Amino acid sequence: MFHTTSQAAFRVSSVHVVKPYVIRVAFADGLERTIDLGPVLAGEVYGPLRDPKLFVQVTVDPEVHTVVWPNGADFDPATLHDWPDHAKAFERKAQEWV
């Protein structure tokens, strides 16, 4: 049986910084996920998030329902929702951004 998840399920409802580079994200479908972004914080967009003062400024954008930072960095909410499926690919990409 083929099952699809509604895009609305991927909406981020809250985000909290757990420790440096680690966020706890809650989604509209009830899933909560703790995500260590440390390994992917490289390059022009994500690299500045290594500054702890900037990293803690993460919020939920009320229009696109994902995590955002004041420097314009964000992550696709579906990617965050299914982070274990995407983490290694992001880590490999971050190696290219260094």
> Regarding predicted confidence, which is higher, 5 or 96?
96
What percent of the chain is modeled with pLDDT above 70? 93
Average pLDDT over residues 32-50: 96
Q: Residue 49 burial by CB count (10 A; 0-12/13-18/19+): exposed, middle or buried?
A: buried
Contact 33, 25 (CB under 8 A): yes
The full DSSP string for 36-81 is: E-GGG--HHHHGGGGSHHHHTT-EE-TTT-SEE-TTS-B--HHHHH
Q: 11-97 has which fold? A: NE0471 N-terminal domain-like (3.30.2020)
Q: Residue 57: which pLDDT band, with cuts at 50, 70 and 90?
A: very high
